[in-house]
């Protein structure tokens, strides 16, 4: 479904977002089977949200088109600038939730070991392993604390977050290699079947790819995997990248955009269909039980849905949870304030891991 030009505007009092078709003076794209051009749309706020989640929607801003940097130096500068806000939020989340963390090295890889204020007796002294999001290029350093703290505090479990090497200096497969060696080191002292591997967005991609890599190596696999709104096909632009345009602050994946640029920086010269880049193409037979989360306004909803169907087709026990009105990563909105939908996601994760981890 092909939308017209997207107009990014603040959420109005009426909570509407307009997706505007090209003006009549512009040349319309050719019409052929499978392509639909929509006119102006007005999309109201979702019904059925908690008051807390509705406030999130009311505050949401859709940023303008962000072009990707053109040189390695510019990418490094942008990376450092972009990560400032995430690092601040990561530290604030740790303080707000009473979590402590230690920066250390495991198997030569920089990691964050996050300990919640209270350990749930279900998990004892075990740890879960985390691969952070951030479009592969961003989200490292203290930014990784955001989801690590969310999981640690929400489930009462210690988390090891892999601060993997990132592009532009360290493209694919450096991140997966780092996750693999941390996994191997941790599971020398903790049964793999008792260990969860998880990540969101690019981190979900890396969690899935790391599991595929371990499977190909014949190494012990996680007892369960969580992939939140994961990028699962970097070769093709899945449906909701088009249909959710203008609704999700993640932004466009069109040529020249920052998101398209991060994929290029991460993949380098590798084949984009490689299952370690596009896990939906992988041999999933024997994959661990997997839980996936997305939202009805998430640009990566299709990537998430397609991965769920691929897992099910391969006989893997896989759960898919799609939250109404949520965009990319919205299920973590309770880092600094109560949001019932986010607490519900933590409950679903706890129950899934409780059922599948020894």
Q: How far apart are CA 36 and CA 3, in angstroms?
A: 8
The helix (H) or strand (E) run that includes residue 203 is helix 202-217
Identify which has the larger pLDDT, 252 or 83.
83
CA proximity to 330, closest of 57, 16, 65: 57
Q: How far apart are the first and last CA of the chain?
A: 44
> What does the block give as tokens for 123?
């998990």
In contact, 2 and 36? CB cutoff 8 Å: yes
Q: How far apart are CA 65 and CA 50, in angstroms?
A: 30
CA proximity to 130, closest of 192, 184, 68, 182: 182
Q: How far apart are CA 316 and CA 288, in angstroms?
A: 7
In contact, 196 and 357? CB cutoff 8 Å: yes
> What does the block give as tokens for 25?
């003076």
The helix (H) or strand (E) run that includes residue 293 is strand 290-295
* Axis-axis angle for helices 145-155, 72-97 (nearest 10): 20
Is 179 a residue whose pLDDT tops 90? yes
Work out the average pLDDT over 263-282.
98
Sketch the domain layout of the chain as residue ranges: 72-356
Work out the average pLDDT over 202-229.
98
The band of 41, judged by pLDDT with boundaries at 50, 70 and 90, is: confident
pTM of the model: 0.90
Is 219 a residue whose pLDDT tops 80? yes
SS3 content of the chain, % helix, strand, coil (to 5): 35, 15, 45
> What does the block give as tokens for 263?
């994929």
Work out the average pLDDT over 65-84.
96
CATH architecture of 72-356: 3-Layer(aba) Sandwich (3.40)
In contact, 181 and 173? CB cutoff 8 Å: no
CA proximity to 165, closest of 65, 256, 266: 266
CA proximity to 136, closest of 295, 233, 261: 261
Q: What is the CA angle 192-195-199, rounded to 5?
A: 125
Range of 9-13, 55-59, 345-349 with top mean pLDDT: 345-349
Q: How far apart are CA 307 and CA 107, in angstroms?
A: 30
* Axis-axis angle for helices 202-217, 174-186 (nearest 10): 60
Is 18 a residue whose pLDDT tops 70? no
Beta-carbon contacts of 177 under 8 Å, excluding residues fewer than 6 positions away, are none
The tens digit of pLDDT for each residue in 4-13 reads 333 333 333 2
């Amino acid at each position: 479904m092909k939308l017209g030009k997207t107009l990014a505007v603040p959420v109005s009092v009426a909570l509407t977002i307009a997706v505007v078709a090209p003006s009549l003076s512009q040349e319309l794209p050719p019409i052929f089977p499978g392509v639909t051009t929509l006119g102006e749309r007005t999309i109201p706020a979702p019904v059925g949200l908690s008051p807390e989640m509705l406030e999130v929607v009311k505050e949401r801003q859709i940023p303008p088109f962000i072009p990707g940097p053109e040189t390695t130096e510019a990418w490094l500068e942008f990376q450092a600038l972009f990560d400032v806000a995430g690092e601040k939020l990561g530290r604030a989340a740790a303080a707000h939730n009473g979590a402590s963390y230690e920066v250390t090295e495991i198997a030569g890889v920089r990691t964050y070991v996050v300990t919640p204020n209270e350990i749930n007796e279900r998990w004892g002294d075990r740890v879960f392993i985390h691969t952070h999001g951030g479009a592969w290029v961003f989200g490292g350093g203290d930014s990784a604390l955001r989801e690590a703290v969310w999981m640690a505090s929400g489930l009462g479990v210690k988390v090891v977050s892999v601060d993997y090497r990132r592009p532009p200096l360290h493209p694919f497969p450096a991140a997966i290699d780092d996750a693999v060696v941390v996994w191997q080191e941790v599971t020398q002292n903790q049964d793999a079947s008792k260990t969860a591997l998880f990540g969101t967005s690019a981190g979900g991609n890396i969690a899935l790819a790391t599991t595929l890599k371990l499977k190909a190596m014949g190494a012990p696999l996680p007892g369960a995997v969580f992939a939140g709104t994961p990028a699962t096909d970097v070769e093709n632009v899945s449906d909701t990248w088009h249909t959710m345009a203008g609704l999700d602050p993640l932004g466009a994946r069109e040529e020249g955009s920052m998101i398209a640029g991060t994929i290029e920086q991460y993949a380098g010269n590798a084949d984009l269909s490689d299952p370690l880049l596009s896990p939906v193409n992988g041999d999933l037979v024997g994959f661990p039980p997997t839980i996936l989360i997305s939202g009805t306004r998430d640009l990566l909803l299709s990537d998430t849905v397609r991965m769920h169907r691929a897992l099910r087709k391969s006989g893997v026990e896989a759960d898919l949870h799609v939250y109404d009105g949520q965009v990319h990563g919205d299920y973590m909105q309770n880092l600094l304030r109560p949001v019932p939908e986010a607490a519900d996601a933590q409950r679903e994760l706890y129950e899934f891991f409780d059922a599948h981890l020894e």
